[in-house]
Amino acid sequence: MEESPTYERIIDLKECKIWQQDNLVLSDVSLSICKGEYLYLVGKVGSGKTSLIKTLNAQLPLREGSGFVAGFDLSGIKPGEIPFLRRKIGVVFQDFQLLIDRTVNDNLEFVLRATGWKDKNLIADRIDQVLGKVGLEMKGYKMPHQLSGGEQQRVVIGRALLNDPDIILADEPTGNLDPETSEGIIRLLRDISSTGRAVMIATHNHTILKKFPARTIKCENGKVFEVREDEEIELDLL
């Protein structure tokens, strides 16, 4: 019987060392994430969460160990292959990083054209599709400053979905949002994982971890390990 795609590994790291320039940040990293999986990445500031995300996205090179992400070999990836890897990965940032001088539609069109889309009608259709998925069907004409923080983060999630990625990496996506808005963003990301995408959320938000429990990976003392279900997650914000 053919294995369900839900259980296919989309991220597979074995005995990796994560470097930030000349500083060894994490060692002996072994981590597997499957398609459709929703999980958290936790740890103190400076513990290596962002460095791990940047390694998965090939912003930081994988110098030691074995790493496969969306079918790409991180240890042997060529510069010309990196844009194709990044089309398989949608990244959601805490600080939105929207272009403030153009509308929501124009923000999304900019990304599509930068990743090879040319047909104006196909671009318009794709923008309508992703805005529908994130509940902003009527907001495409607005400028970023006309949107609430939660709406801006939904635009960012929509931007991450434009090229139909296999993986969503969200780095503190609720860091600047109030509790109610944060819950809405987490529910949206959980819904996205149910469509077969792997979703990994780096977070300090203890309330979210309690209210929406899921597999949790922790960075601590240069190591990455899985938190047991019965283990209380201690999060230091500083």
Residue 139, in any domain of the structure = yes
pLDDT at position 126: 96
Nearest to 153 by CA among 201, 87, 211, 219: 201
> Mapping DSSP to helix (H, G, I), strand (E, B) and coil, where does residue 173 land?
coil
For 162, the token pair is: 């434009």
Residue 76 sits in a domain of what CATH number?
A: 3.40.50.300
Q: Read off the pTM.
A: 0.88
Q: From CA 167, how far away is CA 181, in angstroms rounded?
A: 23
Rg of the Cα atoms in the chain? 18
17 and 110 inside one domain: no
- Tell me whether residue 93 is in a domain: no
Helix orientation angle between 104-114 and 120-133, rounded to the nearest 10 degrees? 120
Query: Could you tell me if 134 and 212 lie in one domain?
Result: no
Do the bridges between strand 64-69 and strand 38-42 make them parallel or antiparallel, or are there none, so unpaired? unpaired
Q: Kindly give the parts of the chain with pLDDT less than 70.
A: 1-7, 229-238
Looking at the structure, tell me whether residues 24 and 122 fall in a common domain: no
CA distance 6 to 195: 10
**Tens digit of each residue's pLDDT (9 = 90 or more) over 106-123:** 999 999 998 889 999 999
Q: What is the pLDDT of residue 21?
A: 87
pLDDT at 230: 59
Are residues 190 and 204 located together in one domain of the fold?
yes
Same domain for 28 and 79, yes or no, is yes
Residue 10 CA: distances (Å) to CA of 1, 2, 19, 124, 126:
20, 17, 22, 30, 24
pLDDT tens-digit readout, 190-222: 999 999 999 999 998 899 999 999 999 999 999
Q: Euclidean distance between the first and final Cα of the chain, in Å?
A: 49
Same structural domain, 80 and 176: yes
pLDDT at position 6 is 45
What one-letter code names the amino acid at 41?
Answer: L
Residues 193 and 209 in one domain: yes
Clarify whether residues 136 and 195 are in a common domain: no
Domains identified in the chain, total number: 2
> Which residues constitute the domain of residue 157?
99-164
Q: What pLDDT shows up at residue 5?
A: 43
> Are 55 and 170 part of one and the same domain?
yes
The DSSP bridge partners found for residue 73 are 68
Q: What is the DSSP string of 211-227?
A: HS--EEEEEETTEEEEP
155 and 173 assigned to the same domain: no
Q: How many angstroms separate the CA atoms of 131 and 138, rounded? A: 8
Q: Which of 118, 143, 164 marks a domain boundary?
A: 164
Residues 171 and 143 in one domain: no
